[in-house]
Structure 1
Amino acid sequence: MADPLSQKSYWRWSKQDFLPEESFQSWNNYASALSQTWCRFKDRLMSRSDAAAETTELRRQSENDMKRCLTWWDLIWFGFGTVVGAGIFVLTGEEAHDTVGPAIVLSYGVSGFSAMLSVFCYTEFAVEVPVAGGSFAYLRIELGDFAAFIAAGNILLESIVGTAAVSRSWTSYFTSLLNKPENSLRIKTGLKDGYNLLDPIVVVVLAITSAIAISSTRKTSYFNWIASAVHTLVIIFVIFSGIFIADTSNLTPFLPFGAKGIFQAAAIVYFTYAGFDSVATMAEETKNPSTDIPIGLIGSMSIIIVIYCLMALTLSMMQNYKDIDTDAAFSAAFQSVGMKWAKYVVAFGALKGMTTVLLVGHI
Structure 2
Amino acid sequence: MEEEDEQNPQQRSYWSRWSKHDFFPEPTFQNLSSYKDALSHTPSRLKDRLLHRSSDSFELLQLPKQSENRMKRCLTWWDLVWLGFGSVVGSGIFVITGQATRDAGPSIVLSYAISGFSALLSVLCYTEFAVEIPVAGGSFSYLRIELGDFVAFIAAGNILLEALVGSAGLGRSWSSYFASMIRTDDTDFLRIRVKSLPNGFNLLDPIAVVVLLVANSIAMSGTRRTSVLNWIASIASAFIIVFIIIVGFVRGNTAN
Structure 1 unaligned regions, length at least 5: 251-319, 321-363
Q: Residues 167 and 239 from structure 1, CA distance in 2 versus in 1: closer, same or farther, beyond 3 angstroms?
A: same
1:74-85 equivalence runs, <5 A: 74-85=79-90
Provide the C-alpha distance between the structure 1 equivalents of 2:252 and 2:29, rounded to a whole number of angstroms: 69
Q: Residues 120 and 85 from structure 1, CA distance in 2 versus in 1: closer, same or farther, beyond 3 angstroms?
A: closer
Provide the C-alpha distance between the structure 2 equivalents of 1:94 and 1:54, rounded to a whole number of angstroms: 43
Provide the C-alpha distance between the structure 2 equivalents of 1:159 and 1:71, rounded to a whole number of angstroms: 25
Provide the C-alpha distance between the structure 2 equivalents of 1:124 and 1:16, rounded to a whole number of angstroms: 37
Q: Could you tell me which of 186, 189, 197 is aligned with 1:184?
A: 189
- Residue number in structure 2 paired with 1:262: none
Q: Residues 196 and 123 from structure 1, CA distance in 2 versus in 1: closer, same or farther, beyond 3 angstroms?
A: same
Provide the C-alpha distance between the structure 2 equivalents of 1:9 and 1:91, rounded to a whole number of angstroms: 40
1:193-342 equivalence runs, <5 A: 193-247=199-253, 249-250=254-255, 320=256
Structure 2 unaligned regions, length at least 5: none
Write the deviation string for residues 112-163 of structure 1: whole angstroms up to 9, x where unpaired.
2222112111111111112222111111111111111111111111111111
1:151 aligns with 2:188: no
8 Å contact 2:95–2:173 — kept in the other structure?
Answer: no
Q: Residues 49 and 161 from structure 1, CA distance in 2 versus in 1: closer, same or farther, beyond 3 angstroms?
A: same
1:132 aligns with 2:136: yes
Write the deviation string for residues 318-354 of structure 1: whole angstroms up to 9, x where unpaired.
xx3xxxxxxxxxxxxxxxxxxxxxxxxxxxxxxxxxx
Cα RMSD (Å): 2.4
Higher-RCO chain (CA-CA 8 Å, sequence separation at least 6):
1
Which secondary structure does the structure 1 equivalent of 2:66 belong to? helix
- Residue number in structure 2 paired with 1:308: none
1:85-104 equivalence runs, <5 A: 85-99=90-104, 101-104=105-108
Letter in structure 2 aligned against 1:42: K
Output the TM-score relative to the length of structure 2. 0.86
Write the deviation string for residues 246-293 of structure 1: whole angstroms up to 9, x where unpaired.
34x23xxxxxxxxxxxxxxxxxxxxxxxxxxxxxxxxxxxxxxxxxxx
Letter in structure 1 aligned against 2:76: T
8 Å contact 2:86–2:230 — kept in the other structure?
Answer: yes
8 Å contact 1:6–1:64 — kept in the other structure?
Answer: no
Aligned residues: 249
1:6 is displaced (CA, Å) by: 6.7
Q: Could you tell me which of 14, 25, 40 is aligned with 1:20?
A: 25
Q: Residues 6 and 59 from structure 1, CA distance in 2 versus in 1: closer, same or farther, beyond 3 angstroms?
A: farther
Which secondary structure does the structure 2 equivalent of 1:62 belong to? coil
Letter in structure 1 aligned against 2:236: V
Provide the C-alpha distance between the structure 2 equivalents of 1:69 and 1:5, rounded to a whole number of angstroms: 22
8 Å contact 2:91–2:237 — kept in the other structure?
Answer: no
Letter in structure 2 aligned against 1:205: V
Provide the C-alpha distance between the structure 2 equivalents of 1:224 and 1:5, rounded to a whole number of angstroms: 33
1:239 is displaced (CA, Å) by: 2.8
Provide the C-alpha distance between the structure 2 equivalents of 1:134 and 1:5, rounded to a whole number of angstroms: 26
